């Protein structure tokens, strides 16, 4: 039985869970040890209120926990090391760096990341150098992230989209029954994400507010925006109702099952290019048509005019009004988008597809 050590920031860290942990939980024919680099409590503190003291405590915890983790793996010598994003962000220093290199040298190494961790300085140059040198396989979401790697190691890169195994729907035939009953009165738009993504509402909120005014005028329907996040969205809206819900892994799916449209606005900035469209994948899994900025990987997830709409909002965000109106007027048309979304998820982004990939790569 293979011995596998998995370095992540724990179940509360979304990328750790959705990229790796939800799969390793399903693998029974290997001895898997989770090497969590921070506690869930500390990660929540760091995410919600990153004061200077909290940041210092956060990185000190990573340093000392990895000192213990690396020492344990130097003794146990696992067959496979899996690293999510960065094991030692900002603290890859002596003696951690030497211990880290030792365990990477003596194991098969799989490195996974789904964001521009280089551009946001989440990974140090020292750790990036080690992982690019010793990784046997590097898993990313698309070509943009692949091209950030050293040209000498790009042939080790593989593409794997991020998906959500918790969103498997058994009763697909009746998934829209509650949505249909509320469709004639209120259209519920949903956004799910972390507080770092709230800045992407900057350009679209005035247009969503305008869409709410137009929808009420043309159809008599209300427009509501549900924001599922660790921090609330603050915006002085005149027409659209904003409902803030604190994110939790079990709450997010329940909220999506009550919504009619999922959205993913993105500012056209360098960091957006590395986004893997995970929100859009989640929306599709539960049959939600989506509206997304036509930026980066979004165009590979949304089938424009079939599973939702892509909006070129680089110059003006007015296209958001038109997209909202198209998906809000007629239920039968909306349901066609819903069914197409679920079908595309099953074909391109299913949990089972990703699970088979992880089972294969960990057994090689």
| pLDDT of residue 263 exceeding 90 | yes
Q: Is the pLDDT of residue 96 over 90?
A: yes
Cα first-last separation, the chain: 12
pLDDT score at 168: 79
Give the pLDDT mean for 225-254: 95
**pLDDT at position 66:** 97
pLDDT higher than threshold 80 for residue 272:
yes
Is the pLDDT assigned to residue 49 strictly greater than 80?
A: no
Segment 303-330, tens digit of pLDDT: 999 999 999 998 899 999 999 999 999 9
Torsion, CA 240, CA 246, CA 251, CA 254, rounded to 10: 0
Q: Quick one: pLDDT at residue 308?
A: 98
Phi-psi label, residue 10: left if phi above 0, alpha if psi -120 to 50, beta otherwise: left
- The model's confidence at residue 173, banded by pLDDT at 50, 70 and 90, is confident
> What's the rounded mean pLDDT across residues 21-46?
95
Whether residue 24 is predicted with pLDDT greater than 90 in this model: the reply is yes
pLDDT of the residue at 364: 81
Neighbour count for residue 251 (Cβ, 10 Å): 13
The answer, yes or no, to whether residue 20 has pLDDT greater than 90, is yes
| Token couple for 95 | 């003696």
In 10 A of CB 153, how many CB atoms?
Answer: 16
pLDDT of 169? 82
Average pLDDT over residues 160-170: 90
Cis geometry, peptide bond prior to residue 95 (ω within 30 degrees of 0): yes
Domains (ranges, CATH) in the chain?
2-163+351-363 (3.40.50), 166-348 (3.40.50.2000)
What's the confidence (pLDDT) of residue 65? 97
pLDDT of 208 strictly over 90: yes
Q: What is the mean pLDDT of residues 254-277?
A: 95
Spatial CA neighbour of 130 closest among 185, 88, 187 = 88
Is the Cβ–Cβ distance between 256 and 223 less than 8 Å?
Answer: no
Which carries the bigger pLDDT value, residue 28 or residue 309?
309
Position 73 scores a pLDDT of: 98
Is the pLDDT score of 170 beyond 90?
no
| pLDDT of 50 | 83
pLDDT of 171 strictly over 90? no
d(CA 282, CA 345): 9
Is the per-residue pLDDT at 136 higher than 90?
yes
Q: What is the pLDDT of residue 247?
A: 92
Mean pLDDT over each residue of the chain, to the nearest integer: 95
Tokens of 94: 């002596």
pLDDT of residue 172: 83
């Amino acid at each position: 039985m293979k011995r596998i050590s998995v370095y992540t920031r724990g179940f509360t860290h979304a990328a750790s869970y959705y990229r790796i942990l939800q799969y390793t939980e399903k693998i029974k024919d290997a001895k898997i040890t989770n090497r969590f680099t921070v506690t869930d409590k500390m990660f929540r503190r760091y995410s919600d209120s990153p004061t200077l003291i909290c940041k210092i405590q956060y990185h000190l915890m990573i340093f000392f926990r990895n000192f213990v983790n690396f020492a344990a793996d130097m003794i146990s010598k696992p067959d496979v090391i899996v690293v999510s994003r960065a094991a030692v962000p900002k603290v890859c220093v002596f003696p951690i760096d030497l211990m880290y290199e030792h365990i990477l040298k003596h194991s098969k190494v799989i490195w996974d990341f789904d964001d521009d961790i280089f551009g946001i300085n989440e990974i140090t140059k020292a750790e990036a150098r080690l992982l690019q040198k010793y990784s046997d396989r590097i898993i990313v979401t698309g070509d943009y992230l692949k091209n950030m790697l050293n040209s000498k190691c790009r042939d080790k890169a593989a593409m794997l989209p991020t998906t959500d195994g918790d969103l498997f729907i058994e009763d697909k035939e009746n998934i829209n029954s509650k949505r249909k009953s509320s469709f004639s009165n209120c259209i519920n738009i949903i956004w799910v994400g972390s507080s770092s993504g709230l800045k992407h509402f900057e350009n679209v909120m005035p247009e969503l507010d305008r869409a709410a005014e137009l929808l009420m005028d043309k159809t008599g329907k209300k427009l509501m925006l549900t924001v599922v996040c660790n921090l609330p969205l603050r915006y002085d809206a005149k027409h659209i109702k904003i409902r803030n819900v604190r994110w939790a892994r079990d709450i997010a799916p329940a909220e999506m099952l009550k919504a009619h449209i999922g959205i993913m606005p993105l500012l056209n900035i360098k960091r957006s290019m590395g986004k893997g469209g995970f929100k859009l994948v989640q929306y599709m899994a539960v049959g939600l048509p989506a509206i997304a900025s036509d930026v980066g990987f979004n165009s590979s997830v949304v089938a424009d005019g079939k599973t939702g709409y892509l909006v070129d909002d680089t110059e003006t965000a007015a296209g958001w009004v038109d997209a909202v109106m198209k998906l809000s007027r007629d239920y039968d048309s909306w349901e066609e988008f819903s069914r197409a979304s679920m079908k595309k998820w099953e074909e391109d982004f299913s949990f089972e597809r990703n699970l088979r990939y992880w089972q294969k790569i960990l057994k090689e």
